[in-house]
């Protein structure tokens, strides 16, 4: 075996960070081989322990990384660390070496987990503890950890016979391989497509900030002195909004929605077809009628019917709202002298004109007040006022890319709490979208060197269009919401306060995980937050009261469009993962038939079409689970209403309860129980529907 780069395992950088400058993409293959070998030895040692199973020698042993003097127990940390580095880089700063390795590592990791799940000796120990759990004197958190471990084994096939376990392992490995390929195909399509605009006429209608971002994007792709439309959301959406060139809008929009559906090596349709079939087979093998039933068992929703009830209730209201919005846009098109229906590449353009007329402002007027630095400061300031934490940038620390910034999070007493990493700009090596991830989770178990516990290392990844050198990056209101949303996720990891890593931070039910992020968005539009932080990029003057009032009044403008494009995606996701009498051969035809049955307006496209629906098909995190954003939105609308009822968005008692029961509890408490502890009641969808402007 080649020599392993120990920098992948021993993180000796400032504040316990990896030493990124000592790590090469070529280091990962051999490091994974060693880490998997060590972890297998650790698992086998726990499984083959001759002592009677106890919580300490079985569950604690599975959870803890152990002291470095005990190589078998320390190996857990080795695999955790090399995996965290690898998967974060695959998403945020990949290269050819990493992408080639991903196709090998994804199924290899899946087989490793399947081998653990099918370890009969290990399952017997966990099952013995589960059956006798009432006699063990466990804490509530320990009960939750044991329950999750036991269910994980059962859902991982521990109760299947040998043939069933082998087939399940093969399915999981193939799904991991397909998911990696799906993600890489989208990245390739996004990276390869560019619309270069060479004339001033092609820029008609575009604000200076967008022109600047497009010039920077063109320069990065070898077209210096020109302007480029890319498939980064922070460029494509404002281009579709402001461009007066309908032919260019159509060309860009069709490329955007065709990602993963262009034929050739990057086409994802065959991937989706096989993924859906394998997921159904997996569910049946484990005794479930459908993959949706399998996925929802551990969620707040529990059953597909509960999801469908919520989505259809919103869908009907969204259709009514969108129908009126489309009529308003059609009138505006006719008024302008044009003679065409509202097409999907027209909607954003004419709705922006209508919004400017109704509320007497447009995004171009607002953007100078939404500099990236101002919104970062606003997100940090809200966290300080709610939770007392202080976030300070630590300059000069080498991260995985020159654009990446490192911050230290400290408690009110000045003690270290976490590291926060901000990666804000789009680049060809990064997949699209925005997300929170972590290099290290919080816990209080023994670690190497005889220390107790670890503090979180959390990362937010965005894809904002980077301004030209020397200029400030300006955000749209949607961009600003995205930043607050992802920082809400980050706070879920930063404020985690549990003993066991398997229930730390965002390790909660999928339809609860969006609550901390979505409720945090509400503070962006709190007037005192905007008036303090939304300051003009040149003058430093706060946003005028009149403009602020218009921005807040326009919050629910175009609500039908937003609800339709999201809910359509969630309903299609659920439809793919219900039980089917026969395999789905043509996944795009299935998507289109589902939308036709729903009465999908021709003027609106799904937020994520099937061939590039990464939430659902690049892994199974949000498969049969895209609805969870809306499920969590029911919770977050109700949660923020608690502050509105108090008349104070920073009410001290509510902020403490929000911290204790929503942000710091992790998965140590049942999500319904912890929400009840915060709010005192479970919500209905009514507050969410009203806040969305659909009532």
| The token pair that represents 316 in the structure block | 């009907």
Rounded to 5°, angle at Cα 351 from 424 and 557:
80
CB-based contact 296:304 (threshold 8 Å): yes
Q: What's the DSSP call for residue 535?
A: B
Cβ burial 191-215 (10 Å sphere, 16+ → b, else e): bebbbebeeeebbeebbebbbbbbb
- Residue 469 half-sphere exposure toward CB, CA atoms < 13 A: 2
Q: Annotated catalytic, 102?
A: no
CA-to-CA dists, residue 318 to 70, 284, 342, 556, 569, angstroms: 58, 34, 17, 12, 13
Quick check: helix, strand or coil at residue 202?
helix
- Residue 499 half-sphere exposure toward CB, CA atoms < 13 A: 11
Rounded to 5°, angle at Cα 500 from 498 and 502:
110
Nearest Cα residue to 482 out of 468, 500, 463: 463
| The token pair that represents 269 in the structure block | 């349709």
**From edge to edge, which strands make up the β-sheet containing 457-464?**
390-393, 405-410, 416-425, 457-464, 435-440
- Residue 572 half-sphere exposure toward CB, CA atoms < 13 A: 30
CB-based contact 462:430 (threshold 8 Å): no
- Residue 305 half-sphere exposure toward CB, CA atoms < 13 A: 0
CA–CA dist 368, 160 (Å, integer): 60
CB-based contact 526:518 (threshold 8 Å): no
Catalytic residue among 326, 454, 486, 514: 486
Nearest Cα residue to 498 out of 453, 438, 458, 460: 453
Nearest Cα residue to 681 out of 643, 635, 648: 635
Strands (E), 374-526: 390-393, 405-410, 416-425, 435-440, 443-446, 452-454, 457-464
Q: What's the DSSP call for residue 499?
A: S
Place of tokens 């391989």: 177
CB-based contact 518:685 (threshold 8 Å): no
CA–CA dist 365, 476 (Å, integer): 10
Pairing of β 227-229 and β 443-446: unpaired
CB-based contact 510:628 (threshold 8 Å): yes
Strands (E), 149-299: 195-197, 227-229
- What amino acid positions are annotated as catalytic residues? 486
């Amino acid at each position: 075996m080649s020599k392993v780069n120990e920098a992948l395992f021993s993180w000796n950088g400032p504040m316990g960070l990896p030493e990124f400058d000592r790590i090469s993409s070529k280091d990962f293959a051999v490091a994974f081989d060693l880490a998997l070998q060590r972890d297998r030895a650790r698992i086998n040692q726990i499984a083959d322990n001759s002592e009677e199973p106890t919580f300490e020698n079985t569950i604690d042993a599975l959870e803890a990384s152990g002291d470095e003097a005990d190589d078998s127990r320390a190996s857990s940390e080795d695999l955790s660390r090399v995996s965290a580095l690898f998967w974060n880089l695959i998403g945020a700063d990949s290269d050819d070496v990493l992408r080639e390795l991903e196709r090998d590592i994804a199924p290899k990791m899946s087989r490793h987990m399947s081998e653990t799940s099918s370890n009969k000796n290990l399952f017997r120990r966990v099952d013995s503890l589960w059956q006798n759990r009432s006699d063990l004197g466990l804490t509530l958190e320990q009960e939750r950890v044991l329950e999750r471990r036991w269910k994980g084994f059962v859902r991982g096939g521990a109760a299947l016979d040998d043939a069933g376990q082998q087939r399940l392992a093969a399915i999981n490995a193939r799904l991991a391989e397909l998911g990696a390929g799906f993600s890489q195909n989208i990245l390739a399509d996004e990276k390869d497509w560019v619309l270069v605009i060479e004339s001033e006429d092609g820029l008609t209608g575009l604000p200076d900030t967008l022109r600047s971002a497009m010039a920077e994007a063109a320069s990065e792709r070898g077209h210096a002195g020109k302007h480029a439309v890319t498939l980064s959301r922070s460029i494509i959406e404002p281009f579709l909004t402001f461009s007066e060139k309908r032919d260019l809008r159509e060309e860009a929009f069709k490329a955007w929605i065709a990602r993963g559906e262009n034929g050739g090596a990057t086409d994802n349709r065959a991937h989706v077809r096989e993924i859906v079939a394998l997921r159904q087979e997996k569910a049946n093998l484990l005794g479930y009628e459908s993959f949706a039933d399998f996925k929802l068992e551990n969620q707040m929703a529990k059953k597909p019917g509960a999801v469908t009830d919520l989505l259809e209730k919103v869908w009907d209201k969204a259709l009514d709202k969108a129908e009126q919005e489309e009529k308003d846009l059609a009138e505006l098109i006719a008024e302008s002298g044009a003679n065409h229906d509202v097409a999907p590449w027209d909607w954003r353009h004419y709705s922006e004109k209508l919004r400017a007329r109704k509320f007497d402002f447009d995004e171009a007027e607002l953007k100078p007040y939404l500099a990236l630095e101002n919104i970062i400061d606003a997100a940090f300031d809200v966290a300080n006022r709610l939770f007392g934490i202080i976030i300070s940038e630590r300059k000069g620390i080498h991260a995985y890319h020159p654009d990446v910034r490192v911050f230290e999070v400290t408690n009110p007493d000045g003690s270290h709490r976490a590291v926060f990493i901000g990666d804000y700009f789009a680049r060809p090596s990064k997949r699209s979208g925005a997300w929170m991830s972590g290099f290290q989770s919080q816990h209080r178990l023994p670690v190497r060197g005889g220390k107790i516990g670890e503090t979180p290392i959390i990362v937010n990844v965005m894809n904002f269009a980077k301004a030209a050198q020397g200029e400030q990056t300006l955000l749209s209101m949607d961009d600003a919401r995205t930043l607050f949303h992802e920082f809400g996720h980050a706070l879920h990891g930063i404020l985690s306060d549990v003993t066991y890593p398997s229930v730390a931070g965002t390790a909660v039910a999928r339809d609860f995980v969006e609550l901390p992020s979505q409720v945090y968005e509400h503070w962006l539009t709190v007037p005192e937050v905007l008036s303090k932080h939304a300051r003009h990029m040149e003058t430093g003057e706060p946003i005028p009261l009149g403009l602020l009032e218009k921005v807040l009044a326009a919050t629910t403008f175009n609500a039908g469009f937003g609800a339709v494009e999201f809910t359509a995606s969630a309903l299609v996701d659920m439809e793919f993962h219900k039980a089917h009498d026969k395999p789905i051969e043509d996944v795009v035809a299935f998507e289109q038939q589902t939308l036709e049955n729903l009465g999908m307006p021709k003027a609106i496209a799904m937020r994520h079409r099937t061939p590039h629906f990464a939430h659902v098909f690049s892994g199974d995190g949000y498969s049969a689970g895209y609805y969870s954003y809306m499920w969590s939105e029911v919770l977050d609308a109700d949660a923020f209403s608690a502050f509105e009822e108090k008349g104070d968005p920073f009410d001290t008692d509510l902020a403490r309860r929000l911290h204790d029961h929503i942000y710091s509890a992790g998965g140590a408490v049942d999500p319904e129980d912890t929400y009840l502890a915060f709010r005192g009641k479970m919500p209905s969808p009514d507050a969410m529907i009203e806040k969305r402007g659909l009532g």
